[in-house]
Structure 1
Amino acid sequence: MIFSGIVRYVGDGDGLCVGPAGRPDQWIEVRLGDFYAPELHEAGGTDAKVRLERLVMGKPLVCRAGKHSYDRVVANCTLNGRPVGQLLRARGGVEGGRGWKR
């Protein structure tokens, strides 16, 4: 499934919501499939969230959904045709956290 929308919320370094303004009931909660950020309570977690916010907040993403993880869609998303994970790494984003496979 392919979907798109404006980023309305960033929860952590690899989680965000896209959808219409003022309609959180219609937002799609996304876990990035191509970047695994440290958890918020781990070293680098807060920095990862800020990095993702600065990159995507208020901007349109196009996402290709894969599977589900908890209550989120796991999706590979692009910003202006470029993979978000690639953009995060280019801006100094370091992957980590529990469950991350090196």
Structure 2
Amino acid sequence: MTSGHLIFAASIAACLSTPALADPCEGRLPTQAGAEISGIVRYVGDGDSLCVGKTADPDEWIEIRLSDFNAPELYGPGGGAAKAALVRVALHHAAVCITEAGRNGRVVSFDRVIARCRIGHRNVGDLLRAEGIAEGGD
């Protein structure tokens, strides 16, 4: 093996052994519309996704994609502001979320469940709009 091949092989091995950055939410996702998820907002991933859990154990946290707000992509224009707003209005607050079917008819999208969440008597999407966050993500 040449030194170039060794460097390439070492680079691949390093990439494979480095853990991917991911959200800590590992709870089992409900698969039916109308399921209630309640607990404390434990983590905010971006401007329209958060994790809710009753305990401090990430293995019980459910990752939710908000159904009533479509935030800008995290690393695009406005994405950081959308995440900061969701942190302000939701993180460490009690939330009640009800799962809904998405455009494809499914409740689960990638590794998240689609749901409408309330904090107190207000929908989280309405709280984000009240913060001045414009919708516009994919």
**How would you bin the TM-score normalised by the shorter chain?**
over 0.9
- Once the two structures are TM-superposed, the CA of residue 20 in structure 1 deviates from its matched residue by 3.3
> Does the 8 Å contact 1:16/1:30 carry over to 2?
yes
* TM-score (structure 1 length as normaliser): 0.92
Aligned residues: 98
| Structure that is richer in strand per residue | 1
CA deviation string 1:21-78 (max 9, x = no partner): 4300000000000000011111000000000001011000000012111110000000
- Counting aligned pairs with the same residue, the percent is 54
- The residue that corresponds to 1:42 in the other structure is 76
- Whether 1:73 and 2:113 are equivalent positions in the alignment is yes
- Unmatched tracts of structure 1, length 5 or more: none
- In the TM superposition, 1:1-102 aligns within 5 A as 1-66=35-100, 67-98=107-138
- Once the two structures are TM-superposed, the CA of residue 97 in structure 1 deviates from its matched residue by 1.8
* TM-score (structure 2 length as normaliser): 0.69
Q: Which runs of 4+ in 1 moved over 3 A?
A: none
Question: In angstroms, what is the RMSD of aligned CA positions?
Answer: 0.9
Cα distance in 1 for residues equivalent to 2:37 and 2:54: 12
Cα distance in 2 for residues equivalent to 1:33 and 1:22: 25
| Structure that is richer in helix per residue | 2
